[in-house]
Amino acid sequence: MTALLNTNLGNIPLLGRGKVRDLYAIDDALLLVATDRISAFDHVLATGIPGKGKILTQISLFWFDLLADLVPNHLIASSVADFPQALQPYADQLEGRSMLVKRAAMFPVECVARGYLAGSGWKEYRSGGTVCGIPLPEGLLDGSRLPEPVFTPATKSQDGAHDENISFAATENVLGADDAAELRRLTLALYNRAAEHAESRGLILADTKFEFGRTAEGIILADEVLTPDSSRFWEAALWHPGGPQPSFDKQFVRDYLESIQWNKQAPAPALPDDVAERTQSKYLEAFRRLTGRHLNL
């Protein structure tokens, strides 16, 4: 199976390419296509993970359905047969990995929910006992469960490479008090629902990030949702605070890149076949565990 690194939809207007997704304009809608690109340390690698875009898309679709009663989402259609006629010739590139979605004015804040201490949250806590200005109890470890889930928003840096944690007061300054409060409410409601489901599947949802937008009808959930690219899923049976936890993401890729002589500057190196295969297997396992289904790539 060959990895799809770039899409080419002929005369369909390409609006941009992110680290993973290609974005096209389709009349008054948008087409999101998840490629098999993979990034690490803020660089897109020369090697893709075959089928990764399909896995991410199908996980998002599962969550959009499970969470639909909590907040509307941007999905219009996910089957190529339901797409406009102009997209039909490109079915081989699009099937299983694309979503036709509503346009929305996106809020300029990443809405992060944390139920456990990890990543940038752990680093901030270690230095000052807080996460995004929220005081936390003393004595927590890397991987500790928090007393209750917290809303820890972030904004994009000027270069677009890193998210920067901000306080809720700063979020209110960016969004206004009413929208900030509503996004916090929605973020924690979505996290709690998803964490409960993950727990029923033997997984811990340590943290995740959501993106919201506004249409004429109101606030909607957009982009990807609760995938291994946007969330930390841990094996509940192996959870042991005090260090990094085994996770369902691209850790194999990060570990390999840390083991070679690479200065974390472009161009990013290629991956050995075994690293790509193990990473693909981890993404597939996440899909199977979360959805209870198998995915044929």
End-to-end CA distance of the chain: 8
Q: What confidence score (pLDDT) does residue 159 get? A: 54
CATH of the domain at 181: 3.30.470.20
Residue 282 lies in a domain: no
* Beta strands 203-215; 218-222: pairing state: antiparallel
Q: Quick one: 59 and 119 in the same domain?
A: no
Q: Quick one: 131 and 228 in the same domain?
A: yes
Tokens 């693909």 found at: 280
In contact, 153 and 166? CB cutoff 8 Å: yes
Tokens of 250: 């691209």
Residue 245 lies in a domain: no
Residue-wise pLDDT for 178-231, tens only, equals 999 999 999 999 999 999 999 999 999 999 999 999 999 999 999 999 999 999
Q: Quick one: 136 and 229 in the same domain?
A: yes
Q: Quick one: 151 and 197 in the same domain?
A: yes
Q: Quick one: 93 and 1 in the same domain?
A: yes
Tokens of 60: 């998002």
HEC per residue, 91-152: HHHHCCCEEEEECCEECCCEEEEEEECCHHHHHHHHHHCEECCEECCCCCCCCCEEEEEEEC
Of the residues 55, 75, 103, the one at which a domain ends: 103
Cβ-based neighbour number of residue 81 at 10 Å: 8
Nearest-CA neighbor of 249 among 295, 203, 212? 203
Alpha-carbon distance of 34 to 107, in angstroms, equals 21
Of the residues 222, 238, 254, the one at which a domain ends: 238
Give how many domains the chain has, as a whole number. Answer: 2
Q: Quick one: 79 and 123 in the same domain?
A: no
Residue 270 lies in a domain: no
Residue 294 lies in a domain: no
Q: Quick one: 17 and 120 in the same domain?
A: no
Residue-wise pLDDT for 28-41, tens only, equals 999 999 999 999 88
Q: Model's pTM, two decimal places? A: 0.94
Residue 216 lies in a domain: yes
Sign, CA dihedral 44-96-195-189, equals positive
What is the residue-level pLDDT of the chain in tens, covering all 297 positions? 899 999 999 999 999 999 999 999 999 999 999 999 999 888 999 999 999 999 999 999 999 999 999 999 999 999 999 999 999 999 999 999 999 999 999 999 999 999 999 988 999 999 999 998 899 999 999 999 999 999 999 987 655 556 788 999 999 999 999 999 999 999 999 999 999 999 999 999 999 999 999 999 999 999 999 999 999 999 999 999 999 899 998 888 988 999 998 999 989 999 999 999 999 999 999 999 999 999 988
Q: What confidence score (pLDDT) does residue 296 get? A: 87
Q: Quick one: 10 and 38 in the same domain?
A: yes
Before 267, cis peptide (omega within 30)? yes
Using CB atoms within 10 A of its CB, is residue 148 exposed (0-12), middle (13-18) or buried (19+)? exposed
Q: Quick one: 46 and 152 in the same domain?
A: no
Q: Quick one: 112 and 17 in the same domain?
A: no
Residue 227 lies in a domain: yes
Residue 287 lies in a domain: no
Q: Which helix (H) or strand (E) holds 76?
A: strand 75-77
* Beta strands 203-215; 231-235: pairing state: antiparallel
Q: What confidence score (pLDDT) does residue 251 get? A: 81
Residue 82 lies in a domain: yes
The CA-CA-CA angle for residues 180, 176, 225, to 5°, reads: 35
Q: What confidence score (pLDDT) does residue 162 get? A: 66
Q: Quick one: 234 and 205 in the same domain?
A: yes
Q: What confidence score (pLDDT) does residue 163 get? A: 76
Domain extent, residue 204, equals: 106-238
CATH of the domain at 17: 3.30.200.20
Of the residues 187, 222, 238, the one at which a domain ends: 238
Alpha-carbon distance of 7 to 142, in angstroms, equals 39
Q: What confidence score (pLDDT) does residue 161 get? A: 55
Q: What confidence score (pLDDT) does residue 124 get? A: 93
Classify the phi-psi angles of 27: left when phi > 0, otherwise alpha if psi is within -120 to 50, otherwise beta.
Answer: left
In contact, 111 and 209? CB cutoff 8 Å: yes
Q: Quick one: 130 and 75 in the same domain?
A: no
